[in-house]
């Protein structure tokens, strides 16, 4: 397997959770061997157990890790898209609370590709990038959907300084790609983006 982000072939093998993963020597992405990927139907079945909703204050607080820094780069005149919004589009509802319009797309729950006929001032993707089998393809697609000087906000846990074999994140069978700060610096450099904000879980990239 080559790296699904940078197409580099040099990698280290990681065996954990009765699965095989590869750690890219170039962009620092850790990715699961494709033979262990779930089928779309099993993946959807796993997502159906998620019970996140707007009334859950803990979940809203979790999402605000992404929303709060995004508010520094957008305004009420902007139009956004939440990519991978899930069965309940809570993130866009939080933006709406701030009088910021945000539309939704989700492969399994809101697969209306008409949203891609527009360009957006900002795109968010919360707890989605770890599920992507081809992150390079998705990143390039999302960047095409951004207006000039648009903002891409991504939330995913990072493997920096983690003991992978004891980390909770890979225990989710739908989590197949794991990023680090080095990975996001690679993405920024490759696509001529500015890292406008960076934390342990959130990266905001400006075009």
Q: Which domains does the chain have, with CATH numbers?
A: 11-206 (3.40.50)
* Per-residue buried b or exposed e for 25-50, using 16+ beta carbons within 10 Å of the residue's own CB: ebbbbbbbeeeeeeeeeebeeebeee
Flag whether pLDDT at 143 surpasses 80: yes
Looking at every residue in the chain, the average pLDDT score rounds to 95
CB 147 within 8 A of CB 120: yes
- Over residues 81-91, mean pLDDT: 94
Residue 53's pLDDT is what? 80
Q: What is the 3-state secondary structure (H, E, C) of 101-141?
A: EEEEEECCCECCHHHHHCCEEEEEEECCHHHCCCHHHHHHH
pLDDT band at 79 (very low <50, low <70, confident <90, very high): very high
Flag whether pLDDT at 48 surpasses 90: no
CA dihedral 187, 188, 193, 198 (to 10 degrees): 120
Flag whether pLDDT at 49 surpasses 80: no
* Per-residue buried b or exposed e for 91-119, using 16+ beta carbons within 10 Å of the residue's own CB: bbbbbeeeebebbbbbeebbeeeebeeee
How many Cβ atoms from other residues are within 10 Å of residue 201's Cβ?
15
Flag whether pLDDT at 50 surpasses 80: no
Please state, in angstroms and rounded to a whole number, the distance separating the CA atoms of residues 114 and 85.
15
- Over residues 92-112, mean pLDDT: 96
């Amino acid at each position: 397997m080559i790296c699904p982000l940078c197409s580099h072939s040099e990698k280290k093998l990681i065996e954990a959770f009765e699965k095989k993963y590869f750690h890219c020597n170039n962009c620092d992405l850790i990715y699961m061997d494709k033979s262990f990927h779930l089928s779309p139907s099993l993946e959807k079945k796993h997502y159906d157990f998620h019970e996140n909703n707007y009334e859950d204050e803990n979940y809203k607080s979790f999402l605000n890790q992404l929303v709060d820094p995004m508010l520094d780069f957008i305004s009420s005149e902007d139009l956004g898209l939440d990519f991978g919004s899930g069965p309940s589009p809570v993130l866009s509802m939080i933006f709406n609370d701030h009088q910021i319009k945000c539309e939704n797309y989700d492969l399994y729950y809101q697969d209306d590709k008409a949203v891609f006929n527009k360009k957006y001032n900002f795109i968010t993707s919360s707890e989605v990038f770890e599920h992507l089998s081809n992150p390079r393809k998705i990143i390039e697609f999302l960047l095409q959907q951004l207006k000039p000087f648009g903002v891409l906000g991504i939330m995913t846990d990072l493997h920096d300084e983690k003991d992978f074999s004891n980390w909770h994140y890979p225990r989710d069978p739908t989590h197949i790609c794991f990023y680090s700060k080095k990975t996001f610096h690679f993405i920024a450099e490759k696509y001529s983006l500015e890292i406008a904000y960076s934390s342990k879980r959130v990266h905001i990239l400006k075009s």
